[in-house]
Amino acid sequence: MRSEEDANRAIEKYADTVRRICMVHLKNEADTEDIFQTVFLKYVLRSAPFESEEHEKAWFIRVTINACKDLLKSFFRAQMVPLDDWDGTAPEPGTEQREVLDAVLALPPKYKDVVYLHYYEGYSAAEIGRILQKNVNSVYTLMNRARHMLKKTLKGGEPD
Amino acid sequence: MNDKIRDAFDAVHADEALKQRTREYLGKTVYRRGGRRNTALRRLGPAMAAACLLLALCVGGAYLYFTPTAFISIDVNPSLELGVNCFDRIVTVEAYNEDGQALAGGLSVKNLDYREALEQILADQDVEVYMTEGILSLTVAGENEDQCAEIYQAMENCASEHRNVRCHAGSSDTIEEAHSEGMSVGKYQAYLILLELDPDTTVEQVQNMSMYEIYQLIYTYAREQGIEPPIGGWHEHSGHGYGHGDD
C-alpha cells in the first residue's frame, strides 16, 4: 500500500487528467467524485511499482477510462444522466474553448477517448492502442473519422 | 485543430474541493486518519453486536420461560392455578381464595415439570382431605391446543390414581375473563355452566362456594329443568357420582 504522502502527490499530479477524462465520459459531478475515489483508491492499494512517470500516467488514464465505462455500464447510471452544468473548472459558455469542448463531447463515445488521448495528451496511435487495448488500425480509423466530424462541426482549422 | 483542442481541455481542472474530498476519503478509508476512536469502535463492533445478540437471546429466552402458555386450574374448595410455560414448567402459582393461599404456601412446585407438580399436589395430605370430602376439579386451558391436549392426558393419568378428581379442558377464551373476575379458569367454567341454568347466579356467590357445592347446584337445576347436567365433559373417576345422575 502506498503512503498518504504518495497519495497526495498523485492527487496533485493527476487530478486534472482524471477530471478531463471524467468530463469526456460523464455528465454529473457526483459520478466524477465516485471516479476520483475509485481511481485514487486503486492507486493507493496498488503495490506494484511503475516503470516510469509515463507508465504511471498511462496507468491513471487507463484506470480512469475503465472506471468511467464501468460506471456507465451500470443500469441505473445508464438510465439517469442529467446534463448538470459543469462547475467553474470548465471553459465559460460562449468562448471558443467551450465551443471546441462541446464539439468533442458531442462525438459518439468511441471517438472521444481517441481525440482526447491524441490531441490533448499527445499519444500516438500505437500508444492509444495499448492504453485502450485496441488494434492500431482501429485507432487510426477512429482518429480519421473523429477528425472529419470535428472539422465539419467546427468549420475551420485544418486537422492534422 | 491540435491547439484548439489542447486549449479547450487545458481550461478543465479538478477543483480544490474535489481533491480535498478525495484526500479525506482516502484518509478515512485507507489511512484511518483521526480515527483511533473509529478503529476502536470498529474492533468493538463485532463484540458489541454479539453482546446485543446474547442480550436479546437472554431477554427473549427469559420472556419465553416466564410466560405461561397454559394454565392448570385446581379447584376443590381451595382454588389455585398453575401457569405452565412452553417448556412444560410451572412458572406461576396463583391462589384465588384463602384456602388456595394456604395450599399454595405449602407447595413447592415452581420450575417443576407440570406432571411432577400435579403428582405432588394430588399427593399432598391437605388436598387428600379435600378430595375425600369433595370434588377436585382439574382444568387445563391455553392457546396451544397441542400442549393443552398433552396436559389433559397427563391430568387424566394422574387423576386415575385418585378418588373424586375430575378433569376438564377449558376454553382459552375464558382465561382472561376468569382472571378479571378473580377466579381460576376451572371455577369460572363451572360458573358459566351454572349461569346458563340460573341467570341470577353471581360471581360473588360462586367465589365463596366449593366445587362440590357448584356441581350440586348444577345437577339440581338441571334435574329441575329436566335436562342432562351439562357437565358431560367432566370425567368422574370415583366418589360422588356427579354427572352420572345417581346422586
Domain final residue, candidates A89, A107, A129: A89
Question: Which chain B residue has the Cα nearest residue A101?
Answer: B8
Last residue of a domain, one of A68, A89, A110: A89
* CA pair distance B85, B57, nearest whole angstrom: 17
Residue A123 lies in a domain: yes
User: Phi/psi of residue B92, each to 5°?
Assistant: -140, 145
Look at residue B101 and give its three-state secondary structure: helix
Q: Test A33 with B22 for CB contact under 8 angstroms.
A: yes
Interface ipTM above 0.95: no
Name the domain boundary from A33, A54, A89.
A89
Cα torsion A71, A72, A73, A76: sign: positive
Q: Closest Cα of chain A to B4: distance in Å?
A: 7
In a domain? residue A141: yes
Same domain as A112, residue A76: no
Contact state of B30 with A45 under an 8 Å Cβ cutoff? yes
Measured CA distances, A6 to A51, A54, B133 (Å) = 16, 17, 97
Q: Is B1 within 8 Å of A88 when comparing Cβ atoms?
A: no
Pairwise CB contact (< 8 Å): A90 & B14: no
CATH number of the structural domain spanning residue A11: 1.10.1740
The per-residue pLDDT for range B146-185, each reduced to its tens digit, is 899 889 888 888 887 777 888 888 888 888 888 888 899 8
One-letter amino acid identity for A61? Answer: I
Question: Residue A16: which of B4, B13, B22 has the nearest Cβ?
Answer: B13
Question: What domain count does chain A have?
Answer: 2
What is the four-CA torsion angle of B43, B49, B51, B54, rounded to 10 degrees?
A: -150
Mutate to test the interface with A, among B10, B22, B32, B33 (most CBs of A within 10 A): B22
Closest CA to B191 of B176, B165, B210: B210
Q: Which of A14, A19, A116 to mutate to test the interface with B (most CBs of B within 10 A)?
A: A19
Cross-chain Cβ contact A44/B1 below 8 Å: no
Domain range for residue A141?
Answer: 91-155
Give A66-79 pLDDT, tens digit per residue.
888 888 776 555 54
The per-residue pLDDT for range A26-58, each reduced to its tens digit, is 877 788 898 999 999 989 988 788 999 999 999
pLDDT at residue B39 in the model: 52
Chain B residues close to A18, C-beta within 8 Å: 14
Distance CA B152, CA A73 (A): 66
Per-residue pLDDT reduced to its tens digit, B204-231: 888 888 888 888 888 888 888 888 776 6
Q: What is the CATH number of the domain that holds A141?
A: 1.10.10.10
| Three cell numbers, residue B224 | 329441575
- Pick from B5, B12, B30: which is nearest to A23 by CB? B12
Give CA–CA dist B80/B82, Å, rounded.
Answer: 7
